[in-house]
Amino acid sequence: MPMFTTRSGGDHVTVPEERTGVDPAVFREVIGHYPTGVAVATGFDDDEPIGMVIGTFSAVSLEPPLVSFMPQKSSRTYARLAKAPTLCINVLAHDQLSLCRTMAVPRGDKFDQVSWHVSDWHAPALDGAVAHIHCSTHSTVEAGDHLIVLCSVEAMAVNRPVTPLLFFQGGFGGFSPCGTATRGDAELIGALRHADSARNHVERLAHDLRCEAAALVAIGAEELTTAVSACGGTASRVAALGERVPLTPPIGEAYVAGARTEVVERWLAKVSPAEPDLVEHYRSRLASVERHGAALSIVDPQERAAYDRLLDALREYSSRELTPARERAVREALAQTRQFFEDVELHEDGTYDVGAIVVPVRSPDGDISMVVRVTQLPSGVGGQQVKDWIRTVKGAAAAAEHDLGRSCGPGSHKAGLRDQLLWYESDFPL
Ligand SMILES: Cc1cc2nc3c(=O)[nH]c(=O)nc-3n(C[C@H](O)[C@H](O)[C@H](O)COP(=O)(O)O)c2cc1C
């Protein structure tokens, strides 16, 4: 294999051409089934910023730090980029498709249309990119109609830790961690119909209890989603429609307690750390929630800051920009919030701040299909008041169950009537 030295001083290697019987269309088709990230390689040719989109960016070596990309030999943009002393590899974010399209077109005024700045390593850095990797050309390998450009990394930083833009089968898309992927339309519509039966009851709860009330439905096995929400009193809307809550201990206990064994075991399998004592603790907490028919979380005023961190973690989980690394961090943060999900004995003369009351709603086939949740309740109330609220939320959930039975089949009518009575008559000491 012939080897020779390039103008820039690095090694220039030629890979010998080998004829194979692969049809170019088949090559494209098969390679298109492998997804790539999308980056823009930028640099200055004299003082003019130059850039090209690359789907071939790759990490090569840690020691020494090397990366690579593969421009077409015929690329006029790369011919100019090769002269830049420092290159910047800009890893594009999921919301930078239009920037990608602008940078992929062979024209001179691309940088007038995008937001960028001159980095400390004197390369054009695109604003909003996930990461900036500053490097210089180490060596170039000729490989068929492309070059393999090996670069030494000089500096690198994550600029915006959001999900990246991906290229797959000729189209652009984003990344969804397994388990939080968007569900099919049919499943979503079915779940939303279920939640619709809770709408009136959720609105009434919000009004009567002067709080935020919501119905959350299960979409898939891993999370609940806010499908209906309403505010009363001075409560403000925190649970936006579509907000997602992970079924990760200690979160989601009202949905899991009393659910089918596989749902319970899947939830318990996520206890972190997976110590037998802790798993047993959660198992008995589920039994207690099932017995009481409601999950109550109480916030000690001294723990308000920790509770706010729990709400922040839930908000971050629900954001669409969660990367797998952040999702792991958020799940770990949630695992630290066990203290808000302990059994509490309510005393008449006690004073309580309620974080949430959550009650399950069963579908006519007996499965738990959603939960009704109230939050932002007035603080500093007595034990009897909390018990009254629990009874009211249970009544609302029972009424939603009744409506669900009516809308889902004749066999459920009797059970529905029984549940409706609960709305008025029951008393549930917790
Ligand atoms: C998603 C995507 C990935 C691309 N990856 C590469 C690549 O790895 N190598 C390359 O030479 N061109 C790649 N291109 C094409 C170039 O970005 C650009 O269109 C081309 O360089 C313009 O022609 P010019 O280089 O002659 O100016 C890619 C384009 C897109 C949209």
Contact between residue 294 and residue 428 where contact means Cβ atoms under 8 Å apart: yes
- For residues 255 and 158, membership in a common domain is answered with no
Provide the pLDDT for residue 175. Answer: 82
**264 and 289 belong to one structural domain:** yes
Task: Tell how far the Cα of 95 is from the centroid of ligand 1, in angstroms.
Answer: 19
Report the separation in Å between the CA atom of 77 and the middle of ligand 1, taken as the mean of its atom positions. 9
pTM of the predicted model over 0.85: no
CATH code of the domain in which 163 resides = 2.30.110.10
Residues found in the chain: 430
Cβ 363 under 6 angstroms from ligand 1: no
Q: 75 alpha carbon to ligand 1 midpoint, in Å?
A: 8
Q: Tell the residue nearest (CA) to atom 22 of ligand 1.
A: 106
Q: Is residue 38 part of a domain?
A: yes
Distance 104 CA to ligand 1 centre (A): 6
Q: Report the C-alpha gap between 226 and 62 in whole angstroms.
A: 44
Does any domain span residue 72?
yes
| Distance from the alpha carbon of residue 55 to the mean position of ligand 1, in angstroms | 8
DSSP class of residue 72?
B
- Do 270 and 327 lie in a common domain? yes
Is residue 179 in some structural domain?
no
- Whole domain around residue 97: which residue ranges? 3-173
Kindly give the confidence (pLDDT) of every residue in the chain, 430 residues in length, as a single tens digit, with 9 standing for 90 and above.
333 334 344 556 666 666 668 999 999 999 999 999 999 999 999 999 999 999 999 999 999 999 999 999 999 999 999 999 999 999 999 999 999 999 998 888 899 999 999 999 999 999 999 999 999 999 999 999 999 999 999 999 999 988 899 999 888 988 876 544 455 566 677 778 778 889 999 999 999 999 999 999 988 888 899 999 999 999 988 778 888 899 999 999 999 999 999 999 999 999 988 889 999 999 999 999 999 999 999 999 999 999 998 998 888 888 766 778 878 888 888 888 888 898 899 999 999 999 999 999 998 888 888 999 999 999 999 999 999 999 999 999 999 998 888 766 544 433 443 443 443 344 333 3
Asked whether residue 154 falls in the same domain as residue 209, the answer is: no
Ligand 1 mean position, distance from CA 110 (Å): 14
| Domain shared by 91 and 234, yes or no | no
Same domain, 223 and 110: no
253 with 309, same domain? yes
148 lines ligand 1 (CB under 6 A): no
For the chain, what is the domain count?
2
Query: Atom 3, ligand 1: which residue's CA is nearest?
Result: 55
* Residue 430 counted as domain residue: no
Tell me, in angstroms, the distance from the centre of ligand 1 to residue 162's CA: 23
Same domain, 257 and 398: yes
- Check if 77 has its Cβ closer than 6 Å to any atom of ligand 1: yes
Task: Decide if 180 is inside a domain.
Answer: no
Q: Is residue 40 part of a domain?
A: yes
288 and 359, same domain (yes or no):
yes
Nearest-atom index, ligand 1, CA of 146: 11
Residue 140 tokens read as: 């170039």
Q: Separation of 355 CA from ligand 1 center, angstroms?
A: 53
Q: What is the CATH number of the domain that holds 394?
A: 3.30.450.40
Residue 325 in any domain: the answer is yes
Token pair, residue 286, equals: 């589920």
Q: Measuring CA to CA, how many Å separate 74 from each of 27, 43, 79, 146?
A: 19, 18, 8, 8
Q: For ligand 1, pick from 72, 80, 94, 100 the residue to mutate: most ligand atoms within 8 Å of CB.
A: 72
Q: Is the CB of 71 under 6 A from ligand 1?
A: yes
What pLDDT does 113 receive?
93
Last residue of a domain, one of 173, 197, 213: 173
Alpha-carbon dihedral of residues 253, 226, 317, 272, nearest 10 degrees? 10
| Single residue among 173, 207, 232 that ends a domain in this structure | 173
The pLDDT score that the predictor gives to residue 421 is 40
Ligand 1 atom at minimum distance from 40 CA? 17
In a domain, 178, yes or no: no
For residue 425, the model assigns a pLDDT of: 40
Instruction: Answer whether the bond into residue 250 is a cis peptide, omega within 30°.
Output: yes
The Å distance, Cα 29 to ligand 1 centre, comes to 17
At 11 the pLDDT is 58
| 167 and 206 fall within a common domain | no
Exposure on the CB side of residue 229, measured as CA atoms within 13 A = 22
Residues 6+ apart with CB under 8 A from 159: 128, 129, 130, 131, 132
Atom 10 (ligand 1) nearest CA = 71
- Helix intervals (H) in 36-132: 76-81, 97-104
Q: Is the CB of 36 under 6 A from ligand 1?
A: no
Rounded Cα–Cα distance for residues 405 and 417 (Å): 9
Do 316 and 222 belong to one domain?
A: yes
Cβ of 54 closer than 6 Å to ligand 1, yes or no, is yes
Task: Say if residue 15 is in the same domain as residue 75.
Answer: yes
Is the distance from the beta carbon of residue 38 to the nearest atom of ligand 1 less than 6 Å?
yes
- Domain end (from 173, 198, 223): 173
